[in-house]
Amino acid sequence: MTDKTLIRYGKKVTTQIREKNGVKYIVFPEIEKLGFVDHLFSTRIGGVSTGDYATMNLSYTRGDDKECVDENYRRIAQVLGHGKALDDFVCTFQTHTTNIRVVTESDRGKGPARVRDYTDIDGLITNVPGIILGTFHADCPPVYIVDPVKRAIGLVHSGWKGTQGEIGKKAIEKMSATYGTKPEDCVCAIGPSICGECYEIGEDVALEFAKAYTEKELENNKILVPYPNNKYRLYLWNAIKLSLLRAGVSEQNIIVTDICTKCNPELLFSHRVHGEKRGNLMAFLTINE
Protein backbone atom coordinates (compact mmCIF):
# COMPACT_ATOMS: atom_id res chain seq x y z
CA MET A 1 0.00 0.00 0.00
CA THR A 2 1.15 3.50 -0.81
CA ASP A 3 0.04 6.83 0.61
CA LYS A 4 -1.95 7.25 -2.61
CA THR A 5 -4.15 4.22 -1.81
CA LEU A 6 -4.49 5.04 1.87
CA ILE A 7 -7.94 6.28 2.79
CA ARG A 8 -7.63 9.18 5.19
CA TYR A 9 -10.42 10.57 7.33
CA GLY A 10 -11.18 14.28 7.48
CA LYS A 11 -9.38 17.23 5.99
CA LYS A 12 -6.39 17.49 8.35
CA VAL A 13 -3.45 15.13 7.92
CA THR A 14 -2.13 14.26 11.39
CA THR A 15 -0.18 11.04 10.77
CA GLN A 16 2.59 9.79 8.52
CA ILE A 17 3.36 6.29 7.28
CA ARG A 18 7.01 5.37 7.57
CA GLU A 19 9.01 2.30 6.54
CA LYS A 20 12.19 0.89 8.07
CA ASN A 21 13.73 -2.48 7.22
CA GLY A 22 10.50 -3.42 5.44
CA VAL A 23 8.33 -2.62 8.47
CA LYS A 24 5.58 -0.08 7.81
CA TYR A 25 4.33 1.90 10.77
CA ILE A 26 2.40 5.04 11.60
CA VAL A 27 3.59 8.04 13.61
CA PHE A 28 2.32 11.42 14.77
CA PRO A 29 4.84 14.11 13.75
CA GLU A 30 3.58 16.33 16.59
CA ILE A 31 4.56 13.65 19.11
CA GLU A 32 7.96 13.25 17.43
CA LYS A 33 8.61 16.97 17.89
CA LEU A 34 8.62 16.50 21.68
CA GLY A 35 11.98 14.81 21.26
CA PHE A 36 12.26 12.70 24.41
CA VAL A 37 9.85 9.92 23.38
CA ASP A 38 9.62 7.36 20.59
CA HIS A 39 6.31 5.96 19.47
CA LEU A 40 4.56 4.15 16.65
CA PHE A 41 1.37 2.38 15.68
CA SER A 42 2.00 -0.89 13.88
CA THR A 43 0.51 -1.99 10.56
CA ARG A 44 0.04 -5.45 9.04
CA ILE A 45 3.16 -5.04 6.93
CA GLY A 46 6.74 -6.11 7.63
CA GLY A 47 6.42 -9.14 9.88
CA VAL A 48 6.91 -12.89 9.43
CA SER A 49 3.48 -14.27 10.40
CA THR A 50 1.47 -16.08 7.73
CA GLY A 51 -2.13 -16.86 6.84
CA ASP A 52 -4.77 -14.92 8.72
CA TYR A 53 -2.00 -13.29 10.78
CA ALA A 54 -0.01 -11.98 7.83
CA THR A 55 2.36 -10.50 8.47
CA MET A 56 2.92 -8.23 11.48
CA ASN A 57 0.78 -9.87 14.15
CA LEU A 58 1.76 -8.88 17.69
CA SER A 59 -0.63 -11.04 19.74
CA TYR A 60 0.30 -14.34 21.37
CA THR A 61 -3.34 -15.21 22.11
CA ARG A 62 -4.86 -15.54 18.65
CA GLY A 63 -3.24 -18.84 17.62
CA ASP A 64 -0.18 -17.54 15.77
CA ASP A 65 3.20 -19.27 16.10
CA LYS A 66 5.10 -17.88 19.11
CA GLU A 67 8.41 -17.70 17.24
CA CYS A 68 6.78 -15.57 14.55
CA VAL A 69 5.33 -13.19 17.12
CA ASP A 70 8.69 -12.98 18.92
CA GLU A 71 10.36 -12.03 15.67
CA ASN A 72 7.69 -9.43 14.96
CA TYR A 73 8.42 -7.81 18.33
CA ARG A 74 12.14 -7.83 17.56
CA ARG A 75 11.45 -6.01 14.30
CA ILE A 76 9.36 -3.41 16.11
CA ALA A 77 12.19 -2.98 18.63
CA GLN A 78 14.62 -2.34 15.77
CA VAL A 79 12.31 0.31 14.35
CA LEU A 80 12.08 2.03 17.73
CA GLY A 81 15.88 1.87 18.00
CA HIS A 82 18.01 2.56 21.06
CA GLY A 83 18.98 -1.12 21.34
CA LYS A 84 15.52 -2.12 22.56
CA ALA A 85 14.74 -5.83 22.67
CA LEU A 86 11.99 -8.22 23.78
CA ASP A 87 12.67 -7.71 27.46
CA ASP A 88 12.08 -3.96 27.18
CA PHE A 89 8.36 -4.30 26.34
CA VAL A 90 5.59 -4.11 28.93
CA CYS A 91 2.12 -4.95 27.64
CA THR A 92 -1.43 -4.53 28.86
CA PHE A 93 -3.73 -7.43 29.78
CA GLN A 94 -6.86 -6.04 28.21
CA THR A 95 -10.40 -6.85 29.32
CA HIS A 96 -12.09 -3.52 28.47
CA THR A 97 -11.60 -2.06 31.94
CA THR A 98 -10.47 1.41 32.97
CA ASN A 99 -7.69 0.04 35.19
CA ILE A 100 -4.28 1.75 34.94
CA ARG A 101 -0.99 0.13 36.00
CA VAL A 102 2.01 2.10 37.15
CA VAL A 103 4.93 0.45 35.34
CA THR A 104 8.25 0.28 37.17
CA GLU A 105 11.64 -1.26 36.39
CA SER A 106 10.46 -4.52 37.96
CA ASP A 107 7.85 -4.87 35.19
CA ARG A 108 10.35 -4.76 32.34
CA GLY A 109 9.70 -7.56 29.86
CA LYS A 110 6.18 -8.47 30.99
CA GLY A 111 4.46 -9.45 27.79
CA PRO A 112 6.72 -10.98 25.14
CA ALA A 113 9.66 -11.88 27.42
CA ARG A 114 8.05 -12.60 30.80
CA VAL A 115 4.65 -13.79 32.00
CA ARG A 116 2.46 -10.90 33.10
CA ASP A 117 1.58 -11.23 36.79
CA TYR A 118 -1.46 -8.96 36.40
CA THR A 119 -4.80 -9.06 34.60
CA ASP A 120 -7.53 -6.56 33.77
CA ILE A 121 -5.17 -3.76 32.79
CA ASP A 122 -6.09 -1.56 29.82
CA GLY A 123 -3.75 1.33 30.54
CA LEU A 124 -0.09 1.80 31.45
CA ILE A 125 1.91 4.76 32.76
CA THR A 126 5.62 5.09 33.48
CA ASN A 127 8.52 7.49 33.92
CA VAL A 128 11.19 4.79 33.42
CA PRO A 129 13.35 5.43 30.34
CA GLY A 130 13.75 2.54 27.92
CA ILE A 131 10.60 0.63 28.85
CA ILE A 132 8.29 0.27 25.85
CA LEU A 133 4.60 0.48 26.76
CA GLY A 134 2.36 -1.56 24.46
CA THR A 135 -1.42 -1.81 23.95
CA PHE A 136 -3.32 -4.11 21.57
CA HIS A 137 -5.76 -2.94 18.90
CA ALA A 138 -7.92 -4.03 15.97
CA ASP A 139 -10.44 -1.13 15.77
CA CYS A 140 -10.39 0.25 19.34
CA PRO A 141 -8.48 3.52 19.74
CA PRO A 142 -5.16 3.89 21.53
CA VAL A 143 -4.51 7.11 23.41
CA TYR A 144 -0.91 8.30 23.73
CA ILE A 145 -0.26 10.65 26.67
CA VAL A 146 3.03 12.51 26.99
CA ASP A 147 4.04 14.85 29.82
CA PRO A 148 7.16 16.69 28.60
CA VAL A 149 7.59 18.55 31.90
CA LYS A 150 7.72 15.58 34.29
CA ARG A 151 8.97 13.30 31.49
CA ALA A 152 6.26 10.73 32.07
CA ILE A 153 4.07 8.86 29.59
CA GLY A 154 0.82 6.93 29.42
CA LEU A 155 -0.77 4.62 26.88
CA VAL A 156 -4.32 3.26 26.99
CA HIS A 157 -6.67 0.99 25.07
CA SER A 158 -9.93 2.93 24.77
CA GLY A 159 -12.67 0.76 23.28
CA TRP A 160 -16.28 1.75 23.75
CA LYS A 161 -16.33 0.56 27.37
CA GLY A 162 -13.05 2.28 28.20
CA THR A 163 -14.16 5.44 26.43
CA GLN A 164 -17.49 5.46 28.25
CA GLY A 165 -15.53 5.03 31.48
CA GLU A 166 -13.08 7.82 30.47
CA ILE A 167 -9.92 5.71 30.68
CA GLY A 168 -7.82 8.47 29.10
CA LYS A 169 -8.90 10.91 31.80
CA LYS A 170 -8.20 8.32 34.50
CA ALA A 171 -4.70 7.73 33.13
CA ILE A 172 -3.94 11.44 33.36
CA GLU A 173 -5.32 11.53 36.91
CA LYS A 174 -3.06 8.57 37.78
CA MET A 175 -0.07 10.35 36.25
CA SER A 176 -0.93 13.44 38.29
CA ALA A 177 -1.06 11.43 41.51
CA THR A 178 2.09 9.43 40.71
CA TYR A 179 4.39 11.87 38.92
CA GLY A 180 2.91 15.29 39.60
CA THR A 181 1.70 15.64 36.01
CA LYS A 182 -0.36 18.72 35.20
CA PRO A 183 -3.02 17.99 32.54
CA GLU A 184 -2.36 21.30 30.79
CA ASP A 185 1.23 20.16 30.12
CA CYS A 186 0.18 16.91 28.43
CA VAL A 187 0.23 16.25 24.71
CA CYS A 188 -2.22 13.52 23.70
CA ALA A 189 -2.84 11.63 20.48
CA ILE A 190 -5.83 9.45 19.62
CA GLY A 191 -4.43 6.73 17.37
CA PRO A 192 -5.64 4.82 14.27
CA SER A 193 -8.93 3.05 14.93
CA ILE A 194 -12.47 2.80 13.62
CA CYS A 195 -14.02 6.10 12.54
CA GLY A 196 -17.53 7.21 13.44
CA GLU A 197 -18.95 6.64 9.97
CA CYS A 198 -17.87 3.00 10.19
CA TYR A 199 -18.81 2.30 13.81
CA GLU A 200 -22.45 1.24 13.93
CA ILE A 201 -23.75 0.28 17.38
CA GLY A 202 -27.02 -0.85 18.94
CA GLU A 203 -29.30 0.91 21.38
CA ASP A 204 -27.73 -0.92 24.36
CA VAL A 205 -24.32 0.72 23.82
CA ALA A 206 -25.94 4.07 23.03
CA LEU A 207 -27.74 3.98 26.38
CA GLU A 208 -24.43 3.46 28.17
CA PHE A 209 -23.00 6.59 26.58
CA ALA A 210 -26.13 8.50 27.52
CA LYS A 211 -25.20 7.78 31.16
CA ALA A 212 -21.73 9.32 30.78
CA TYR A 213 -22.60 12.43 28.78
CA THR A 214 -25.48 14.86 28.71
CA GLU A 215 -27.75 14.98 25.69
CA LYS A 216 -26.23 18.35 24.80
CA GLU A 217 -22.68 16.97 25.03
CA LEU A 218 -23.56 13.99 22.84
CA GLU A 219 -25.09 16.26 20.22
CA ASN A 220 -22.68 19.20 20.30
CA ASN A 221 -19.59 16.96 20.16
CA LYS A 222 -21.09 14.58 17.59
CA ILE A 223 -20.59 11.49 19.74
CA LEU A 224 -23.84 9.63 19.00
CA VAL A 225 -25.68 10.01 15.70
CA PRO A 226 -29.01 8.18 15.21
CA TYR A 227 -29.16 5.68 12.36
CA PRO A 228 -32.08 3.64 10.92
CA ASN A 229 -33.49 0.57 12.71
CA ASN A 230 -32.64 1.75 16.25
CA LYS A 231 -28.95 1.89 15.41
CA TYR A 232 -26.41 4.65 16.03
CA ARG A 233 -23.06 5.82 14.77
CA LEU A 234 -20.59 6.16 17.64
CA TYR A 235 -17.75 8.66 17.19
CA LEU A 236 -15.21 7.37 19.70
CA TRP A 237 -12.59 9.94 18.70
CA ASN A 238 -14.93 12.80 19.61
CA ALA A 239 -15.86 11.17 22.92
CA ILE A 240 -12.21 10.62 23.84
CA LYS A 241 -11.33 14.20 22.92
CA LEU A 242 -14.13 15.51 25.14
CA SER A 243 -12.92 13.33 28.01
CA LEU A 244 -9.36 14.64 27.62
CA LEU A 245 -10.70 18.19 27.68
CA ARG A 246 -12.60 17.31 30.83
CA ALA A 247 -9.31 16.12 32.31
CA GLY A 248 -7.79 19.54 31.70
CA VAL A 249 -5.77 18.89 28.55
CA SER A 250 -5.54 21.93 26.27
CA GLU A 251 -7.44 21.51 23.00
CA GLN A 252 -4.37 22.47 20.97
CA ASN A 253 -2.51 19.59 22.63
CA ILE A 254 -4.99 16.92 21.48
CA ILE A 255 -4.14 15.27 18.16
CA VAL A 256 -6.78 13.11 16.47
CA THR A 257 -5.86 10.43 13.95
CA ASP A 258 -6.86 10.66 10.31
CA ILE A 259 -6.70 6.90 9.69
CA CYS A 260 -9.61 4.46 10.14
CA THR A 261 -8.76 0.78 10.59
CA LYS A 262 -11.97 -0.44 8.93
CA CYS A 263 -11.40 1.77 5.86
CA ASN A 264 -7.87 0.38 5.35
CA PRO A 265 -8.03 -3.43 5.82
CA GLU A 266 -5.02 -4.09 3.58
CA LEU A 267 -2.83 -1.98 5.83
CA LEU A 268 -4.45 -2.59 9.23
CA PHE A 269 -6.21 -5.42 11.05
CA SER A 270 -9.87 -4.60 11.69
CA HIS A 271 -12.22 -6.69 13.82
CA ARG A 272 -15.18 -5.32 11.88
CA VAL A 273 -13.61 -6.48 8.60
CA HIS A 274 -11.61 -9.59 9.50
CA GLY A 275 -13.52 -10.91 12.51
CA GLU A 276 -11.68 -13.31 14.81
CA LYS A 277 -9.42 -14.64 12.03
CA ARG A 278 -6.80 -11.92 12.22
CA GLY A 279 -3.76 -10.64 14.02
CA ASN A 280 -3.51 -7.70 16.37
CA LEU A 281 -1.99 -4.28 15.87
CA MET A 282 -0.21 -2.47 18.69
CA ALA A 283 0.51 1.04 19.86
CA PHE A 284 3.94 1.64 21.42
CA LEU A 285 5.34 4.51 23.47
CA THR A 286 8.73 4.80 25.20
CA ILE A 287 10.94 7.42 26.85
CA ASN A 288 14.35 7.82 25.26
CA GLU A 289 17.26 6.65 27.37
Residue 58 and residue 136 in contact, taking contact as beta carbons nearer than 8 Å = yes
Inside any domain, residue 5: no
Residue 261 in any domain: the answer is yes
Instruction: Tell me if the bond preceding 55 is cis, omega within 30° of 0.
Output: yes
| 11 in a structural domain | no
pLDDT tens-place string over residues 161-172: 999 999 999 999
Q: 150 is in which domain, residue-wise? A: 16-195+254-287
Rounded distance, CA 170 to CA 73, Å?
Answer: 28
Decide if 224 is inside a domain.
no
CATH of the domain at 276: 3.60.140.10
| pLDDT score at 4 | 57
Q: What is the mean pLDDT of the chain?
A: 96
Residue 83 lies in a domain: yes
* pLDDT tens, residue by residue, 26-80: 999 999 999 999 999 999 999 999 999 999 999 999 999 999 999 999 999 999 9
Q: What is the pLDDT of residues 182-234, one digit of tens each?
A: 999 999 999 999 999 999 999 999 999 999 899 999 999 999 999 999 999 99
As a residue count, the chain comes to 289
How high is the pLDDT of residue 289?
75
pLDDT of residue 1: 43
Q: Does a structural domain hold residue 8?
A: no
Q: Which residue has the higher pLDDT, 51 or 83?
A: 51
- The residue among 280, 253, 218, 226 whose CA lies nearest residue 76 is 280
Decide if pLDDT at 83 tops 90: no
- pTM, two decimals, is 0.97
The verdict on residue 222 lying in a domain is: no
114 pLDDT higher than 70:
yes
The number of domains in the chain is: 1
Answer whether residue 204 is part of any domain: no
Torsion of CA 168, 53, 85, 110, to 10 degrees: 50
